[in-house]
Structure 1
Amino acid sequence: MLVLAGDVGGTKTALALAQGGTIIERRVFPSAAYTSLEALVSEFLGQRGKEISRACFGIAGPVSEDSVRTTNLRWVVEARSLERTLRVPRVTLVNDFHALAIGITVLPASDLAVLNDSPSDPKGPWVLIGAGTGLGEAVVVHTGNGYEVIASEGGHTDFAPRNELEIDLLRFLLKRHERVSYERIICGRGLVALYEFMRGRSPEAESSAVREEIARSSGDAAPIISGHGLAGDDPLCTQVLSLFVSIYGAEAGNLALKVVARGGVFIAGGIAPKILPKLLDGTFRSSFVAKGRLSPLLEATPVKVVLNSDAGLLGAAALAARLAL
């Protein structure tokens, strides 16, 4: 049985053919280069649509009645339209973090990095949060038949500043946006916004070398900022990355509190593996556990980083395979 799996994001879309839970072919496409998901998948499949039994796509956006308007793309994706265009008997759409949650359940320990080493309650709910083009969140609860995934758009909740610096950050962002959510900060573009904010506070702190590097970056300054922040060779980038990770940890702690995530917290998305040394240096954990009277609860909550970039694809493939049973 051949199934088609997709992990559809605002920046890139990963597609895979899988058999028996194993990915046998995989390609990554720039999402914005295509007018629709149908066009992108058609290029990947060629003439192989009739060979595929089922398909499942994890898509960054809220799914309702087998349809989703993507959050960071101008796509409207409909399952029935995909079935007709691709000649696949059944297509299912789920939120990308729904697929990711299923994928996490099959990952080996070697695909996870530990940020907070505490015992996990095997019956407790667990959560995942991940920054990339946007900020995804989901909640997973145990049932008598396995797991129930509750997809969430929690990344779009209102940003809550914790100190004078973050209050100034909120004021800075309100000049650009009518409303400021966590996703405005904890994502690739958010990292750039933080750099611009911190540079505005101390213009003399920006090095000419980094400024010129950013000018040559074709509009994607986030890897430059994070790279220098990780290397510690530029004070401004180092401060920016620390602020980014601190706010990331605070929101992860907020999510854990909302469901008392005794089963653990998983940090996913494309950014986390790239900045893993910074996540491991204590900055993230310090903000994660700083919850006043509830700090002991967070200190006892396990936190792990998902290192496998194919976790969402694996989850989508598993869901597609279930549909064929």
Structure 2
Amino acid sequence: MTASLPVTIASAASQFDAPRLLADVGGTNARFALELAPGCFERVQVLACGDYPTLADAVRAYLAMPEVAAAGQVRHAAVAIANPVDGDQIRMTNHHWQFSIEALRQEVGFETLLVVNDFYALARSLPHLHDGDKVQVGGGRARAGAPLGLLGAGTGLGVSGLIPAGTSWTALSSEGGHVTFAPCNELEVAILQYAWREFEHVSAERFLSGAGVELIHRALVHIQGLAPSTLSAPEISRRALAGECAVSSQVLDIFCGMLGCVAGNLAVTLGAQGGVYIGGGIVPRLGERFAASPFRTRFEQKGRFQSYLSSVPTYVITAEYPAFLGVSAILSDKFPS
């Protein structure tokens, strides 16, 4: 499956000498674009990862599309991937793709191939987001020059942050989604006890992801003594947003509350008084339902630090392709115009 989607094109002063490939690879979809000039993203395509045996196959399929091939040969590329990046070998946590970065570079014929963690790239995008690219949830006011926090639930739970470094920023390569989940009330204790039946270690990602929405639903059904159910995360969300199912609605409230707790933990850990940003594939689709959820209350619910957290703003990233901004900035660091 492929999908061609529009993207806002920024004005650019000059063209690159060759188009640059930008990619955002998740556990479900791989998004590709060409950057023809600084901030000018074109030929955007979304390819289903499951349709391609390897990432190289997906890259070649994108480059072979007539409108992409017509732009000219790609020399430099940057890929954000939903996985730790430590050295040359990549083996995806939430998908079967594995590869050597150098072997992939040679296989697809690039002069340069940079591969970074997807939330590292998303963190690099934060200073480039405009007001229309984000929606504030709750109160608080960003403090200039302070660290920024970032997390987002999708196929997994991504976590990162952006730390001031002189006149620039340093993004964190974090795997904070795999911290041990900590329940905050009796119901969450019961949900955690249910999850222990399936997993030896229950991380925050076990609940704050698409699979996590389904796990919370199974746990609630069990706790409430209802008939076993195997609803998918999209169906649970649909029923909740449509007001068709009380259990599904409760699942979303629990999910958002858990996310608020983890976001608050990140804020106090990083001292993220510049704000905490929420990305990923799940929350931006919830719209006003998220703003009305327990997220912000749970974010601030840190006892003696409630006043501290009430001053920290939280934002939902609504930009369609924010990771492209991040990988573009990373390539620009290596090849400044």
Question: How high is the TM-score relative to the length of structure 2?
Answer: 0.89
Q: Distance in 2 between matches of 1:112 and 1:50?
A: 34
- Is the CA contact (8 Å cut-off) linking 1:116 and 1:301 kept in structure 2? no
1:292 paired to 2:303: yes
Q: Which runs of 5+ in 1 are unaligned?
A: 215-220
For residues 50-106 of structure 1, what are the alpha-carbon distances to aligned partners after superposition, in whole Å with 9 as ceiling and x for unaligned? Answer: 721310001111111243221111222332112211111000011101111122222
Count of matched residue positions in the alignment of Structure 1 and Structure 2:
314
Which residue of 1 is the match for residue 184 of structure 2? 162
C-alpha contact (below 8 Å) 1:270/1:309 kept by paired residues: no
Q: 1:208-249 deviations in whole A, cap 9, x for unaligned? A: xxx69x4xxxxxx11111122122231111111111111011
Q: Which has the higher contact order (CA 8 A, sep 6+)?
A: 1
Aligned alpha-carbon RMSD (Å):
1.8
Is 1:239 the counterpart of 2:256? The answer is: no
Partners of 1:304 and 1:13 lie apart in 2 by 25
Instruction: Confirm or deny that 1:303 pairs with 2:314.
Output: yes
Call closer, same or farther: CA 1:236–1:282 in 2, change over 3 Å: closer
User: Which residue, 51, 72, 75 being the options, matches 1:33?
Assistant: 51
Partner of 1:229: 240
Provide the identity percentage. Answer: 33
Deviation track 1:252-298 (CA, whole Å, cap 9, x = no partner) reads 11111111111110000011111122220151001100001011111
Q: 1:74 aligns with which of 96, 103, 109?
A: 96
> Match of 2:211?
189
Give the match's secondary structure for 1:29: strand
Residue 130 (structure 1) aligned to one of 130, 146, 152: 152
Mapped partners of 1:234, 1:165: distance in 2: 19
Q: Distance in 2 between matches of 1:241 and 1:65?
A: 37
Q: Which has the higher helix share?
A: 1
Q: Residues 293-317 of structure 1, C-alpha deviation per residue, up to 9 Å, x if partnerless?
A: 0111110101000011300122112
Q: Is the 8 A contact 2:23 2:324 kept in 1?
A: yes
- The residue type equivalent to 2:114 in the other structure is T
Question: Normalising to structure 1: TM-score of the pair?
Answer: 0.92
Equivalent residue in structure 2 for 1:83, among 105, 118, 131: 105
Task: Give the partner amino acid of 1:270.
Answer: G
Correspondence for 1:218 = none
Select between 71-80 and 303-312 the one with higher mean Cα deviation.
Answer: 71-80
Report runs of 4+ in structure 1 exceeding 3 Å deviation.
47-50, 203-206
Taking the TM superposition and a 5 Å limit, the aligned residue runs for 1:1-325 are 1=16, 2-20=19-37, 21-46=39-64, 48=69, 51-204=73-226, 214=231, 221-325=232-336
Asked if structure 2 preserves the Cα contact closer than 8 Å seen for 1:125 and 1:142, the reply is yes
Structure 2 stretches lacking a partner, 5+ long: 1-15
